[in-house]
Amino acid sequence: MKECPIVEDLLPLYHEGLLKPETTEWVEEHLNNCSACNSLASISSEPIMNDADRPVVDHDKMMAKVTSKLTLYQLIFVGISFFLAIRTVIANESFGFILPYFILGLVTFLFYRTYRLVVMIAFLPVFLWFLGTMLYSTFQHTESDYNFFMMVFDAIYGSFLMAGIHFLFAILGAIVGWLFFKFKESGDK
Ligand SMILES: [Zn+2]
């Protein structure tokens, strides 16, 4: 038919509902009488509407879901790391922390593939917890002859050292995680 190209041009506007009532009527009348345009209209109607609108929303939703999931995991990791830090301080085992921190570093790296988080999880909680405990006991024994600032310095230095040792084993775990990925990548090739 002669009108077919015109109808074809009007279809996108027709689907969006942007045509005047008379034009809409005219297009519909043509679609009823022309099977070629009718099938074209039914093909073009769905993808145009859905592709434009839905995926954007889905993508946002998905990203929000992923982000909240990551935050949840991060909270769990931080919780575990604080638990381990407290445990090592309380238990006062000389070497009991080695394996848990090795595993903590390994798991953290396998999960996030970043050393930054290993630092945050292995170093900071231990440092803060040791510092808190040491400062607390410092304030408990203020009657001693020790210089107060020296004692605070000792507390910071001691906590730093303890956190460093814990961090060392976590980093060893992370390196094993890194080797694991390297090994896997070379296996894929
Ligand atoms: Zn037609």
| Closest CA relative to residue 118, chosen from 157, 158, 86, 78 | 78
| Residue 96 φ/ψ, nearest 5 degrees | -65, -20
CA of 53 to the centre of ligand 1 (A): 28
The total of structural domains in the chain comes to 2
Output the six-digit token pair for 30. 């043509």
Same structural domain, 180 and 108? yes
CA of 26 to the centre of ligand 1 (A): 11
Same structural domain, 84 and 35? no
pLDDT at 50 over 50: no
CA of 8 to the centre of ligand 1 (A): 8
In a domain, 50, yes or no: no
- Asked if 130 and 163 touch (Cβ cutoff 8 Å), the reply is yes
Region of 93 please: left (phi>0), alpha (psi -120 to 50) or beta. Answer: beta
In a domain, 184, yes or no: yes
pTM > 0.85: no
In a domain, 157, yes or no: yes
Domain limits for position 19:
4-44
Same structural domain, 154 and 123? yes
In a domain, 166, yes or no: yes
Same structural domain, 152 and 101? yes
Angle 72-106-95 from CA coordinates, rounded to 5°? 110
pLDDT the model gives residue 5: 92
For the chain, the average pLDDT equals 79
C-alpha–C-alpha distance, residues 118 and 105, integer Å: 6
In a domain, 105, yes or no: yes
Q: Label residue 20 exposed, middle or buried (CB < 10 Å: 0-12, 13-18, 19+).
A: exposed
pLDDT at 52 over 70: no
CA of 50 to the centre of ligand 1 (A): 24
CA of 46 to the centre of ligand 1 (A): 19
Same structural domain, 16 and 104? no
pLDDT tens-digit series, residues 71-113: 777 777 777 777 777 776 666 656 677 787 888 888 888 887 8
Same structural domain, 94 and 156? yes
